[in-house]
């Protein structure tokens, strides 16, 4: 069962991923972990405030399911706003079709996202069609360029989350380039 706090965190994340705006304050509580697997939200609900800790398990799954609701509505994603430079990012690589930038919540010493500049229906890999073959190849080649630029060409991982069961939280196809530490198998 999803708690009110989990639902509030999911709603906040869903609003952020679809509009790029945070409608409530976000802060880190000194008593809670600030590592990559937790996000602390302070949201207003009438006159009361709730401090919610979104963990990398249940709450992340709830946020992914919430994001999937608006996956194909055509609204700009946070990535569209990064592409248009409305939201700043640490760009690692850019060409006319692909943009790569550092993830704001890295799970490895090197964690870069590689995205197509034009979605063209590619909200997730499961929506890929024959006509997307060229951009899919360019995304993988860009991942290789990123690995070289970041000094991890001898060992890196490329991850694509597809749909809510894989915890995809932004419905704009993206590759995670991960490295800079020993990767383990199996992942997940």
Residue 188 lies in a domain: no
As given in the structure block, the two tokens for residue 88 are: 């700043």
The one catalytic residue among 35, 58, 132, 174: 174
Lowest mean pLDDT among 38-42, 69-73, 101-105, 167-171: 38-42
pTM above 0.75, yes or no: no
Q: Mark whether 63 and 82 lie in a shared domain.
A: no
Judge if the upstream peptide bond of residue 160 is cis by omega within 30 degrees of 0: no
Residue 39 lies in a domain: yes
Last residue of a domain, one of 69, 94, 117: 69
- The pLDDT of residue 40 is 37
126 with 153: CB under 8 angstroms? Answer: no
Among 51-55, 155-159, 165-169, the range of highest mean pLDDT: 155-159
Last residue of a domain, one of 69, 99, 117: 69
Q: Rounded mean pLDDT of 98-117?
A: 97
DSSP symbols for 64-97 = HHHHHHTTTS-PPPHHHHHHTTSS---EEEE-SS
Q: Mark whether 59 and 91 lie in a shared domain.
A: no
Q: Mark whether 82 and 175 lie in a shared domain.
A: yes
Residue 184 lies in a domain: no
Long-range own/partner contacts, residues 147-156 (CB < 8 A, 24 or more apart) = 147/177, 147/179, 149/92, 149/93, 150/92, 150/110, 150/112, 150/177, 150/179, 150/180, 151/110, 152/110, 152/179, 152/180, 155/179, 155/183, 156/110, 156/183
Task: Name the residue range of residue 139's domain.
Answer: 78-179
Residue 185 lies in a domain: no
Q: Mark whether 154 and 87 lie in a shared domain.
A: yes
Last residue of a domain, one of 69, 97, 117: 69
Q: How many domains does the chain have?
A: 2
Among 69, 29, 36, 31, residue whose Cα is nearest residue 55: 36
pLDDT tens per residue, range 16-53: 444 444 333 333 333 333 333 333 333 333 333 333 33
Q: Mark whether 40 and 101 lie in a shared domain.
A: no
Strand-pair category, 175-179 with 156-159: antiparallel
R_g of the chain computed on alpha carbons? 17
- The pLDDT of residue 71 is 78
Q: Is 184 a catalytic residue?
A: no
């Amino acid at each position: 069962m999803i708690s009110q706090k989990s639902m509030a965190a999911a709603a906040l994340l869903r609003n952020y991923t679809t509009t790029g705006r945070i409608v409530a304050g976000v802060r880190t509580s000194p008593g809670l972990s600030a590592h990559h697997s937790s996000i602390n939200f302070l949201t207003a609900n009438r006159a009361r405030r709730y401090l919610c800790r979104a963990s990398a398990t249940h709450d992340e799954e709830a946020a992914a399911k919430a994001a999937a609701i608006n996956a194909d509505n055509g609204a700009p994603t946070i990535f569209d706003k990064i592409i248009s430079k409305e939201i700043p990012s640490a760009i690692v690589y850019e060409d006319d079709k692909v943009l790569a930038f550092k993830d704001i919540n890295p799970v490895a010493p090197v964690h870069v996202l590689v995205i197509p500049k034009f979605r063209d229906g590619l909200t997730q890999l499961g929506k890929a069609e024959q006509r997307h073959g060229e951009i899919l190849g360019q995304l993988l080649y860009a991942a290789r360029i990123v690995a070289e630029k970041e000094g991890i060409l001898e060992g890196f991982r490329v991850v694509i989350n597809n749909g809510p069961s894989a915890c995809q939280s932004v419905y704009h196809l993206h590759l995670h380039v991960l490295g800079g530490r020993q990767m383990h198998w199996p992942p997940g």
